Copies of this chain bind each other. A is one copy, B any other.
């Protein structure tokens, strides 16, 4: 992976983390929080692992491959959950998670 690719992956991980944190915050303020319980949970899981992986990438971790695998799985699950809700923050989050899962997949083995 060259520097440009690292920069791109960092950016995608970061924007996914941001979308997940915003969605988490917004879900907790929805009228029907009950319906958002699983979305809240997955938003946090996804923000946490994306943030972790981004920092690991920045310090040139020897374990990027393994982290990208976890990240891909978590992003997919979070996207699937968010897609089931019509709130703007969920729609946006699903989009960012899909993009991040795709990036995590394509950067494995590089």
How far apart are A12's CB and chain B's nearest CB, in angstroms? 14
> Roughly how many angstroms separate A6 CA and B18 CA in the complex, as a whole number?
12
Which B residues are in CB contact (< 8 Å) with A49? 52, 63
Among B10, B29, B36, B45, which residue has its beta carbon within 8 angstroms of that of A61?
Answer: B45
The copy count of this chain in the complex is 4
Which B residues are in CB contact (< 8 Å) with A29? 37
Cβ of A67 under 8 Å from chain B: yes
> Roughly how many angstroms separate A34 CA and B25 CA in the complex, as a whole number?
14
Number of interface residues of A (CB under 8 A): 41
> Roughly how many angstroms separate A27 CA and B40 CA in the complex, as a whole number?
11
Which B residues are in CB contact (< 8 Å) with A48? 52, 56
* Contact A14/B14 with A25-B58, A45-B62, A63-B70 known, Cβ cut-off 8 Å: yes
* Contact A56/B45 with A32-B34, A34-B32, A40-B40 known, Cβ cut-off 8 Å: yes
